Amino acid sequence: MIEVSGLTKYYGDFRAVEDLSFTVNRGEILGFLGPNGAGKTTTMRVLTGYMPPTRGSCRIGGLDIFDDAIPVKRKIGYLPENVPLYPELTVREYLLFVARIKGVPAPEIPAGLDRIIHKCGLESVRDRLIRQLSKGFRQRVGLAQALVHDPEVIVLDEPTIGLDPAQIREVREMIKGLGRDHTIILSTHILPEVSQVCDRVLIINRGRIVAEDTPERLTQAATGQIHAEGLVAGSEDALQRCLQAEPLLAGATCQREEGDRWRLVMPLQDAEVRPRIARALVEAGLDLYEFSLHRATLEDVFLQLITDEEKEKPAAEESAPPDEPAAAASASDEEVSQ
């Protein structure tokens, strides 16, 4: 449904997005994940035809977003990060205007407006001025605006920003419901949102794709790092003896909490060895207060990918300077020889 290839966007000299390629299939919900300034909004703006890319192309339903701008834009519903509202209009007037400029045929408009007002829970405010609405309602009007022409593709830039927890859950449910017969791209930096809503995740940083997979597989990739955490009480002697004697506890670290309590962090190869570890601890004469398993979350994956990127960059820069003295030396050599 959406094919992006080699998308690059510069603002003057600043590179916002570099050589981005991905596809989204019909009926799929793609999560766009990245820290602020990673290029999420830029990518979405190019995808929706707001601005042209510096290089590369975007095709939606087989049509190029710039060569066939008008038919393509009919297929797209877009909720920008800053919801584009006219505060002086009422909700209904605003949605009417949007429906008209999106090219909804006039006879279908009244029914379409009623449907979308109902769907987004705007019945109580339909004749209120947008200026008077709360942030939550404005966000919902924004969502209604993106859906009013029943587009095939929906692009949502941080749709749950500024909503309270109950509203966030509502909006997520709504997006999931829409995913059944729409193609959705959704950007966010809220990680649970991605694992709850999206079929696939694209992590981008500094304008490049760092990872692309399903939320499950991304977290699985990091499950090499499962560990158990425990709180035990006992003498330091008993604890040390136990740690050395039990091979499953190799690599465990302990830290003293108040009194004779110890916080243990135990890396595991396999989650199934937990009962054996618990028994070993108890048999060593330690009292077990807490024992829990920790899996890497999407958050860990995300942070790890982002920090790996940051590390690579300075490393690449550091390798450059040693060349300089050499170059300077050879230059002075030349001078001498001359």
Partner 1 sequence: MKTVIHIMQKELKSYFYSPIAYVTLTLFMLVSGFVFFLIFTDISERTAMSGMGMGMGSDPVNVPQLVERYFLGWLSTILLFLIPLITMGVYAEEKKKGTFELLFTSPLTTLQIVFGKYLANLAFCLVLFAGSVLLQAPLFLSGAPDAGPMCVGYLGLILFAAGMISLGNYLSSLTENQIIAAILTFVLALLLWFFNFFSESGTEGVKAILGYLSPLQHLEDFQRGVLDLSHSVYFLSMAFLGLFLTYRTLESLRWRG
The answer to whether residue 49 forms part of the interface with partner 1 (CB under 8 A) is: yes
Min CB(97)–partner 1 separation in Å: 5
The answer to whether residue 289 forms part of the interface with partner 1 (CB under 8 A) is: no
Instruction: Say how many residues touch partner 1, by CB under 8 A.
Output: 33
The answer to whether residue 219 forms part of the interface with partner 1 (CB under 8 A) is: no
Segment 118-177, which members bind partner 1 (CB under 8 A)? 145
The answer to whether residue 102 forms part of the interface with partner 1 (CB under 8 A) is: yes
Identify which range of 55-63, 76-84, 177-185, 298-306 contacts partner 1 by CB under 8 A.
76-84
The answer to whether residue 45 forms part of the interface with partner 1 (CB under 8 A) is: yes
The answer to whether residue 76 forms part of the interface with partner 1 (CB under 8 A) is: yes
Spatial neighbors of 311 by CB under 8 A, at least 6 apart, are none
Task: Compare residues 34 and 77 and give the one whose CB is closer to partner 1.
Answer: 77
Q: Which of 25, 82, 134, 307 touches partner 1 (CB under 8 A)?
A: 82
Min CB(72)–partner 1 separation in Å: 8
Min CB(11)–partner 1 separation in Å: 6
Identify which range of 23-31, 50-58, 305-313, 317-325 contacts partner 1 by CB under 8 A.
50-58
